[in-house]
Amino acid sequence: MANTPALGVGAARLEGSTPSLPITYMFNFLKKQPVEFYILVIVPIIWITALIIFNPVFLSNLRILTLQSAGFYAFFGGPFFQLGFFILYNYLIAKACFFLKDLWQLKRAKQKISFAFFYPHLKSWALIFLPIGLAGFVNSLAATSLSLAPADKVAAASVLINQWDYKIFGVYTAFWIQQFSGWLTDVLLINAYIGLTAILPAIFLGLLIFKKTRFRQFMLAILIAPMLGYPFWYIWPAVSPNEMFRYNVTKTVVPANIQNEIASFSLTEKQKEFDDSIEDFWIDKTGNTFAVTAFPSMHAAWGIIAAYFGVLLWKPLAIILIPWAILNSLGAIYTFQHYGVDMILGTIVGILAIAIAIFLLRFEKKYLCPKPQTFLMIDTFQNDCRSFIKFLRNFFFKILKMPTE
């Protein structure tokens, strides 16, 4: 009986410490995770869950929206990353072939095959590219869900944004800029607008190969930008001037003054060619859905992000990227894809996304894990690319040094 209190105290201590073990383990686990785990995995999961619970239209159309978003985003790529991820897909295939070769050699030599050799690389691929894929897919799925907005709401928002344009600039920018149309304007502005699809993957791959921290900031900024834009798209589901006023996809009455603006100019051959190609992509011929992501412009946001990190990648690129970022925004207006206010808000969104991405990595270094170990694949990719570049350099150097007969 004398020992009973002691046993009771010991039992109480044991019972008191038991609940803290899972909490401590979970806390340590969360503390070791990179910020991408929270921003690109946890936030999208919460986001999609909220859409399913609180948006009946989204829930009832979840199946078709998922298929459309998967097709549009292609899991990793999307139209702005197709080139970059095409290279990465092939790199992954090449790595898989080398893994299979190693397995075959080990088996042929009758050596013990250990999964531990492959696990770190496979884990790293999952921890890097699955978050990028998940965040991008959720962004695409959320944006696609907005396309179900009713036509009257889309028309009202588009007319309102166009009026804001006039109040701020004193003109309807998309129509006013047409007075400068011509061969040189076509070359500069249309190509600058289209150029985002090449510049983004180029910056993507350059940072991935040479600057790991900047690559992480770049990808965070790219994926945070549409998250910042989503509330605006939801409140003001505006479509482009082209869709709203020239094609009148909402089938509403276009104001007489806008009709007069449209009648005052004619498109160049280059504009017609571009218009035919891009509107086949954006306009739903059934009239049931609308591309309502005009305000703010992700073209402006991603253009600013690409220019900023491109200069950080290599400072001389500022000579190209800063003028291009300006022409990119003007090109979006010139091609009737955006209003002037779209580009202003899009630029602000891009700057905020950059600032948030930089802050998050500083927060990670100070409060989470200063050197997360989940980015082995970036290190491996960088080493492989540098080895390949070195091989090519040595190869061509030998060719140039070869005596000619």
Predicted local distance difference test score (pLDDT) of residue 319: 96
Predicted local distance difference test score (pLDDT) of residue 10: 41
Could you list the residue range(s) of the whole structural domain that residue 66 is in?
34-385
Asked whether residue 113 is domain-assigned, the answer is yes
Asked whether residue 22 is domain-assigned, the answer is no
Predicted local distance difference test score (pLDDT) of residue 3: 45
- Whether cis (ω within 30° of 0) applies to the bond prior to 296 is yes
**How many other CB atoms are there within 10 angstroms of residue 169's CB atom?**
14
Number of domains in the chain: 1
Asked whether residue 5 is domain-assigned, the answer is no
Asked whether residue 17 is domain-assigned, the answer is no
Asked whether residue 396 is domain-assigned, the answer is no
pTM of the full predicted structure?
0.83
Distance CA 10, CA 7 (A): 5
Among residues 179, 183, 142, the alpha carbon closest in space to that of 46 is found at 142
Residue 67's SS3 state is: helix
**Per-10-residue mean pLDDT, the chain, length 405:** 42 48 74 80 85 79 70 55 65 72 74 70 68 76 83 94 95 94 93 90 86 90 92 94 91 90 90 85 75 92 96 95 96 95 97 96 82 66 76 77 52
**How many other CB atoms are there within 10 angstroms of residue 23's CB atom?**
9
Cα-based torsion angle of the residue sequence 325, 162, 243, 351 in order, rounded to the nearest 10 degrees = 30
Predicted local distance difference test score (pLDDT) of residue 23: 80
Among residues 229, 354, 236, 353, the alpha carbon closest in space to that of 297 is found at 229
Asked whether residue 397 is domain-assigned, the answer is no
Predicted local distance difference test score (pLDDT) of residue 186: 94
Among residues 126, 55, 86, the alpha carbon closest in space to that of 375 is found at 126
Predicted local distance difference test score (pLDDT) of residue 12: 43
Asked whether residue 49 is domain-assigned, the answer is yes
Predicted local distance difference test score (pLDDT) of residue 83: 61
Asked whether residue 301 is domain-assigned, the answer is yes
